[in-house]
Each structure stands twice: as structure tokens, then as C-alpha cells.
Copies of this chain bind each other. A is one copy, B any other.
Amino acid sequence: MNRLFLPEHAAVEQSLRGLALAHPHLIRLHQQPLYITARHRHAARRVGLVSGGGSGHEPLHCGFVGQGMLDAAVPGRVFASPHNRQVYEASRAAAGPDGVLHIVKNYTGDRINFRIAAERLRADGIAVRRVLVDDDIATDSAETATGRRGTAATVTVEKLLGAAADQGTRLDDLAALGTHIASASRSIAVAARAQTAPFRGGEAFQLTDGTLEYGVGIHGERAASTEADTGFEPLVDRMTQQVLAALPPDTARVLVLVGGLGATTLLELYAVYTQVCARLAEDGVDVAGRLVGTFAPALDMSGFSLSLTAMHDTWIDLWNSPTRTPAFPVTEFPR
């Protein structure tokens, strides 16, 4: 029976201490309440970018604090929303002359805590806008009042908004851009094995041999149905076509994010990327950028997600602009 090496909630704080110790030139740890801020802010940046959410999805979000991405990130306990006081204090620390933009994954707890913090910030005279990320098409149903879940496309939103913020974009324009990016981004995820249950150990849910959880969530939310595994190429083709079909009908170029859910190897993830590219080429869709790796996992789940963003021409330079954060990969072209 697998278990995590550090099951208890103290793991989050100990882990963030390590993140700050390992990247002292990029980020700073704040305790009581717990959050991370960037050491440096681009001189042109007018808006503080703040994100956050439950832990267990590392490097999301704290690994994306730094130059070219977030000004602050707020971690909850594993799979639990951060407290609104954390969001409030982090936002005060990160606010720019134009205020703060909150990047929020669509979960009820996150929405509530970011909303309460926003009300307090506004009472302090700090302007706040919100971008809600809701990319997961597995939860795209008229029957679900809460709407689609926010998953891996959050990384894309954080990267593109970070680059735009460094160009001095104003709060309202940045919020509109973020909402545009979120609306142009859709994802689907599949699992072959659940993540380890943090406290009791063992798999959080059981899959029968030869089945896949198609449409799994990043907290181990079960899919609508568990399905027979029909093989690698049909699986990736189906994911690609489903996500593509959820984008605007005139989509000609996309950003591709192949995201590991925790235990799936880079060997597999890059093979997925090859198959996604083949499928997109058949459909006449160009790849304008890509990210392959583990960026928003569900602890140590075995599985992967595919996120596509219908790319506006002006977003490509934002994507390729440099970052300095603990976890975002080198994106610059050779010098």
C-alpha cells in the first residue's frame, strides 16, 4: 500500500519553507498567514497577480511566483481552499498601483475565499478583479450548477497574464484578457490509478484492471463513467478531438499543454504530445506553443491531462517571453 512520505498537514508549511530556501533570489515565504511573494516586480507592472488554491498540485501555484508570472500565491491544505485571510494578506502585499487581479480555479471554496478577500481589499481602497478558470470539459454539463472545474489551463492563464502585466497592462484590460484566455482554454484528464489518499494511505479510489477514469478531476473526483482502456492512440485522439471541439469553431492555432497528474512519466507525456501533434496536423490546426510536464497534478495520480488554448496572434509573444520562477521551464529561444 503506497503512502506519502509526509502525510500530515504540516507538510505544506515544511514544503514551502523548502521552496523558499531553494529559491531565495526569486521568492519570499510569509508565515501567519502562509503565502509566497515574488522578490522582484517588473518596473512596468501596474497590477499584482495573485493566485492560489489547495495544495497537492505542485508546482501550481507557488512554483509560478516570480518574474513574468505571479506576484503572490496562497496555498491551502492538501486539496482544500486557502483561508480568505491568506488571500487578503497576500493581495495587500502584492498589490500594484492599479490593484490586484485574482486568478481563481473554479471550485466553490476557492471562489468564496477569494470573494471575501476581495471585499475586504475593496474596503481598504484596493481595486480587485477576478479571472475564473473553468477549463475542464468533463464537468461541462447544463445540469451542474457550479460549472466546469478549473484545472491545468490555469498555468497557461498565469503565464500569459504575467507577461501582459509586465507590459504595463491596466487592471480592467488584464482582467478582460484573462477571461478571454480562460474562455479559449479547455481540458480533459484521464487516470489509470488514483492518487494516494494523504492520511490513510493506499489509493484514494480503486480502478479495475484494464479500465481508465476518463474525465477525472485533479482532486481525484471520479469521472461520470469508468471506461475500458482501448489503447493509447485512440485515447489521445479522442481527448484531442473532444477538447478541440470545445474551442471556438474557427480555431486555427493552439497552445498545447500535456500535463502529468503526478506519477505519469515524461517518457509517456512526450509520447502523448507526439500523438496530439499528429492528430492536430490531420485537423489542420497549428501548434503555436506547448508545455509538456507535470505542472498541476493530483498528488501522485497516474494519468495525464490535455489542455488546448485557441491562440490569439498577440498571445504568442506573451507565451515566449522569459520567466524567472521556481518551476516554469526555460521558454526563451536560444540567444
Contacts and interface: CB of A to CB of B under 8 A. Distances in A.
A270 B19 contact: yes
B3 A192 contact: yes
A215 interface: no
A196 B5 CA distance: 19
B232 A5 contact: yes
Contact of A18 (B3, B271, B333): B271
A162 interface: no
B21 A274 contact: yes
A271 B14 contact: yes
A17 B21 CA distance: 36
Interface string A314-331: 000000000111111110
A288 interface: no
Interface in A1-23: 1-6, 11-12, 14-19, 21-22
Interface string A213-236: 000000000000000000010010
A216 to B, nearest CB: 14
Contact of A6 (B21, B232, B333): B232
Interface stretch (A54-62, A95-103, A246-254): A54-62
Nearest to A59: B266
A268 B334 contact: no
Contact of A265 (B4, B39, B270): B4
A16 B324 contact: no
Interface stretch (A85-93, A124-132, A298-306): A298-306
A12 B267 contact: yes
A192 B267 contact: no
A143 interface: no
Q: Which of A58, A78, A324, A330 has the most CB atoms of chain B within a 10 A radius of its CB?
A: A330
A265 B18 contact: no
A15 B270 contact: yes
A11 B268 contact: yes
Interface of A: 1-6, 11-12, 14-19, 21-22, 25-26, 39-40, 55-56, 58-59, 63, 67, 78, 192-193, 196, 201, 209, 232, 235, 262-275, 277, 290, 292, 294, 297, 299-300, 302, 304, 323-330, 332-335
25 contacts: A2-B263, A4-B268, A5-B271, A6-B232, A11-B271, A15-B270, A18-B271, A18-B273, A18-B292, A22-B273, A22-B292, A25-B334, A39-B334, A40-B334, A67-B334, A78-B267, A263-B263, A263-B300, A264-B300, A265-B299, A265-B300, A267-B299, A294-B294, A324-B334, A324-B335
